[in-house]
Amino acid sequence: MSSIELTTPATFIPAPATPYQGDIARYWNEEARPVNLRLGDVDGLYHHHYGIGDIDHDALGDPADSAYEKKLIAELHRLESAQTDVLLDNLGTIGRDDLLVDAGCGRGGSMVMAHQRFGCKVEGVTLSAKQADFGNNRAAELGIADFVRSRVCNMLDMPFETGQAAASWNNESSMYVDLHDLMAEHSRILAVGGRYVTITGCWNPRYGQPSKWVSQINAHFECNIHSRREYMRAMADNRLVPQAVIDLTPATLPYWELRATSSLVTGIEEAFINSYRDGSFQYVLIAADRV
């Protein structure tokens, strides 16, 4: 694909399209949970998603050790970055002249990792001006502002040309929008043959309906978790053909069990742990190609 230049950000910041999105923008502009900031402080990669993988108990050491909590936070952060690595592994072949798009980019940790791996330009969109400023400041500190940029806009109306992106993703951000509208927009911005990846929590249709635990998660994050079936249907309706569907539920449970023992608990850990254990909630990766 041809080289794509990042244009100068517009001074006009588009308003959220709906009152609900206005609520979400305010939610994330006011959010300052220690669990997001302290984990990012470990190495300067600030994520807004959860972790996967086995716990390195040797790295944690003795819980009675005075340094144990610091080691626990570092371990949780390692699992967060491992989750991003799995997402990036599923983007397919990416060249240095390609453009990647992170829809719902948070504070930008995944974008930094994507640029570090592929050397290409990465643009993120978020409703939160606070998150966008944080991500852009961090990119400037790292000397990669010419390659990594966050923009304030609606992920259902992204400021990219049709077919401009080689790959795009939602990393735990798709539960804030209508899935058909979201997949239509990713299908529009992706080149034919481009790859879309989502990692998301979704309720399990085999359970019957969203469980009480899923309802608690929705209330906590002011979101609307979709079913796995809804993702597949929305992709099929918008020329996105799944190439891989990976159940990450067993891989994410250790993260939650460890986080529940930390000083960073937010009160939602029990809902995640119980819903993963009873099968009403799943953590999945879906990679699909634009046809």
Rounded distance, CA 271 to CA 263, Å?
17
Do residues 50 and 162 make contact, with C-beta atoms less than 8 angstroms apart? no
Strands 99-103, 240-247: pairing is unpaired
Full set of structural domains in the chain with CATH: 26-290 (3.40.50.150)
Q: What is the pLDDT of residue 14?
A: 60
pTM of the model: 0.93
Distance CA 285, CA 8 (A): 33
Percentage, residues of the chain above pLDDT 90: 88
Give the chain's mean pLDDT.
Answer: 93
Confidence of residue 31 (pLDDT cuts 50, 70, 90): confident
- Supply the pLDDT for residue 36: 82
Please return the burial class of 152, using the count of CB atoms within 10 Å of its CB with bins 0-12, 13-18 and 19+.
buried
Strand positions, DSSP E, 70-217: 99-103, 121-126, 148-152, 165-171, 190-203
Q: What is the pLDDT averaged over residues 50-55?
A: 97
- Per-residue pLDDT of 196-227, as tens digits, reads 999 999 999 999 999 999 999 999 999 999 99
pLDDT of residue 8: 39
Summarised one tens digit per residue, pLDDT across range 249-281 is 999 999 999 999 999 999 999 999 999 999 999
* Backbone torsions φ then ψ of 218, nearest 5 degrees: -55, -45
Closest to 142 measured CA to CA, from 43, 18, 261: 43
* CA-to-CA separations, 45 to 111, 117, 139, 239, 291, in angstroms, rounded: 9, 14, 10, 33, 33
DSSP 215-279: HHHHHHHT--PPBHHHHHHHHHTTTEEEEEEEE-HHHHHHHHHHHTTSTT--S-HHHHHHHHHHT
Single-letter code of the amino acid located at 90 = N
